[in-house]
Structure 1
Amino acid sequence: MDLGLKGMKAILVGANGGIGRKVAQALAAEGCHVAICGRTQDKVDKVVGELSPTGVTVYSEALDVTEPTSVPAFVEKAAGALGGCDIFISFTSANPGTDTDDCWETILRADILPMRRGIEAAMPYLEKSDAGSIICMSSTGAVEEFMGVQPYNALKAAVMNYAAGLSQKLAPQGIRANCITPGPVMTDDGPWNYIKDNMTEFYDGIMAQIPMGRMTTGEELAKTIAFVASPACKAMTGANIVVDAGFTKRVQF
């Protein structure tokens, strides 16, 4: 299937590792020009090196997404380097794991606000696109109880609502907004490798809850995101796509 991604431009915030890195690879493999950013220059450079053989244009930058002006500035420079923006996705995330004011504020600064600021900055370019697409990243922790009272879970539930609101507002302009809700995802540079080696009992408990007997791979999730973001999925907006190997037990609708 031709996803129609060749020649499109994607701006990816926080794509220097984990799921974001895999999505950058998947989009570039389809001929989509990409801009990526992340906290550390070494990790950003590594991803750029992985994308270079595809021949697409790659813009990259190391920055601190918690600084209020950093993501909007990155989007402006990225859109200038790529010649626009057709796809916007923010992957930045944080989960200190405690129900405190500091935890709520950390997640807002590192996860929610970079997404919102990036979407706002990308909007003038998405409005000019023939296939504008926004992907918001949530978590299955937002739809079922997971590890007790977690600000992360509550705020990821808010992301779903935000994406749904965007989809209704932006549909008349031809811009789609969808939400991707992953369960546990295994990537070579993600947290679950560490958990597997250092928190064995917890890891085994999670694995026992996954009917497929394995976690979703980063490559599998990236292919889903690439499809939903692409013109091949042009009629889908306002959807929440759960990708979790059966981890959640609710009826998905």
Structure 2
Amino acid sequence: MGMELELGGRVAVVTGASKGIGLAVVRTLAAEGMHVVAASRTSSPDFPADVLHVPVDLMEPGAPAEVIARAVSAFGGLDVLVNNAGGPPPGATLPRLGFLTPDDDDWRAMFEFNLFAAVRAVRAAIPAMLERGGGSIVNVSSTAARQAAAMNIDYSAAKAALNYVGKSVSEEYGPQGIRVNTVSPGATLTDWWTKPGGAAEVLSGVTGAGADAVVKQVAPEMMRLSTGRLVHPQEIADVVALLASPRSGSTTGADYAVDGGYLKEL
């Protein structure tokens, strides 16, 4: 008998759900027997059949509350929120090198997508979770929030702010049964890396190595990954599922790095 996560019949909202880490989280929580509401601009043929997809653009201020409301009306409440949507906002490409590169509009879009969308989702989720006597919020951040670099500064700053929000909300609502934790992926093998014009191609242009070699060797070496490879989305989804579970009842305000050993400090 494996470890029973006690998630069956509970209700989860997952944002940025159609691919990569979000899709892995949706499939994992659905496999645990949860009612899953998947929020993303487009649906995915890889969604399990019983997943409820809510098509929204999370850059719209009203979208997060709309998703939470759909979850409550469809399944009677909310137990778990996974704020996974993030990365480059629509139309932007990362990595973006240098502090002077992003302008005000770039900064605004980055914070809108990576911070404000999550803040709005948490704001909408808290009353629904309090009605159930508690819940679990998992914010998907990034190791970039904790490791400064001369690239992606607007993205990393937004994620650092998200880390603070998670810790602060966990402090306020922990006594009322709402746990808030952060998962910080390192470089993860998603289309962020592999799509045309993605990180692998950008770094290929900088390093002269082929995009495939960037993913398999150059990037892991550049980032000094202890495991020697990028993270798989499923490895992040598994940690999210554990944090969502009542089995993690005393874990709140924590930040789990799933990064192949990228972060070296104590």
TM-score of the pair, normalised by structure 2 = 0.85
Q: In the alignment, which residue of structure 2 is the partner of 1:9?
A: 11
User: Is the contact between residue 115 and residue 161 of structure 2 (CA under 8 Å) also seen in structure 1?
Assistant: no
Out of 53, 63, 72, which is 1:70 matched to?
A: 63
Q: Tell me the secondary structure at the aligned position of residue 178 of structure 1.
A: strand
Query: 2: CA distance between counterparts of 1:122 and 1:131?
Result: 10
Query: 1: CA distance between counterparts of 2:66 and 2:202?
Result: 38
How far is 1:197 from its partner? Answer: 5.7
User: Is the contact between residue 111 and residue 154 of structure 2 (CA under 8 Å) also seen in structure 1?
Assistant: no
Query: 1: CA distance between counterparts of 2:251 and 2:192?
Result: 31
Q: In the alignment, which residue of structure 2 is the partner of 1:24?
A: 26
Give the unaligned 5+ runs of structure 1.
none
How far is 1:185 from its partner? Answer: 0.9
Q: In the alignment, which residue of structure 1 is the partner of 2:194?
A: 193
Q: Tell me the secondary structure at the aligned position of residue 123 of structure 1.
A: helix
How far is 1:193 from its partner? Answer: 2.0
Out of 220, 223, 228, which is 1:207 matched to?
A: 220
Amino acid at match of 1:46: P
Give the unaligned 5+ runs of structure 2.
none
Q: Is the aligned partner of 1:155 residue 2:149?
A: no
CA 1:121–1:45: 2 relative to 1, 3 Å:
same
User: Is the contact between residue 28 and residue 237 of structure 2 (CA under 8 Å) also seen in structure 1?
Assistant: yes
TM-score of the pair, normalised by structure 1 = 0.89
Q: In the alignment, which residue of structure 2 is the partner of 1:142?
A: 145
Q: Tell me the secondary structure at the aligned position of residue 45 of structure 2.
A: helix
Amino acid at match of 1:24: V
How far is 1:205 from its partner? Answer: 3.7
Query: 2: CA distance between counterparts of 1:158 and 1:205?
Result: 30
Out of 51, 61, 83, which is 1:58 matched to?
A: 51
Cα deviation code 1:130-168 (max 9, x no counterpart):
450011121111111234361111111111111010010
Query: 2: CA distance between counterparts of 1:128 and 1:78?
Result: 14
How far is 1:45 from its partner? Answer: 4.2
Amino acid at match of 1:76: A
Structural RMSD (CA)? 1.8
User: Is the contact between residue 11 and residue 79 of structure 1 (CA under 8 Å) also seen in structure 2?
Assistant: no
How far is 1:210 from its partner? Answer: 0.9
Cα deviation code 1:153-194 (max 9, x no counterpart):
11111111110100100011011001111101113xx21223
Query: 2: CA distance between counterparts of 1:137 and 1:171?
Result: 19
How far is 1:115 from its partner? Answer: 0.6
Amino acid at match of 2:121: G
Amino acid at match of 1:60: H
Amino acid at match of 2:15: V
Query: 2: CA distance between counterparts of 1:146 and 1:47?
Result: 35
Out of 72, 75, 85, which is 1:82 matched to?
A: 75
**Segment of structure 1 superposing worse, 105-114 or 239-248:** 105-114
Cα deviation code 1:32-70 (max 9, x no counterpart):
110011112xxx14243xx12xxxx42212111111112
CA 1:236–1:36: 2 relative to 1, 3 Å:
same
Q: Tell me the secondary structure at the aligned position of residue 99 of structure 1.
A: coil
Out of 121, 128, 131, which is 1:125 matched to?
A: 128
User: Is the contact between residue 35 and residue 82 of structure 1 (CA under 8 Å) also seen in structure 2?
Assistant: no
Q: Tell me the secondary structure at the aligned position of residue 122 of structure 1.
A: helix
